[in-house]
Amino acid sequence: MGIKIDGLLCTACMACELACGYHRDDAFALLSSCIVPYRGREKKNYLGVMLKEEDSLVAARPEGIEINRIGEEQDPDKEADASAKPMLLRESCDLCEDLDDGPLCIRVCPVDAISVE
């Protein structure tokens, strides 16, 4: 079981990031969040979401999902995502295991772009 993100639905409103940071620190602490929407500089109106799981970084983009295993060597011909390095320093998603209603990011997403798979 894990978080599933639909990159076509996401609007990068940051509600998931705020909720995750609040859940972890009882404050709107963005650096505590394990899920981060981002806007690409290379294309206008391009956005995606990164999620740190126990052993991988998941990047949900309009063109699909990309999963990079933490610790595995990446393809040297592929340009690294600038958001990946700071994400490695964050705690992994625990699916808000201490909440009875499930992950908070799912409950606050206004466009239902996040679900549990």
In this prediction, residues 36-65 reach a mean pLDDT of: 85
Q: Are 102 and 5 in contact (CB under 8 A)?
A: no
pLDDT digits (tens, 9 = 90+) for 61-117: 888 899 989 887 655 555 555 556 678 888 999 999 999 999 999 999 999 999 998
pLDDT of residue 79: 54
Residue-averaged pLDDT of the chain: 85
Q: Which two tokens stand for residue 88?
A: 């490695």
Instruction: Count the Cβ atoms, other than its own, within 10 Å of residue 93.
Output: 20
- Are 104 and 23 in contact by the 8 Å Cβ rule? The answer is yes
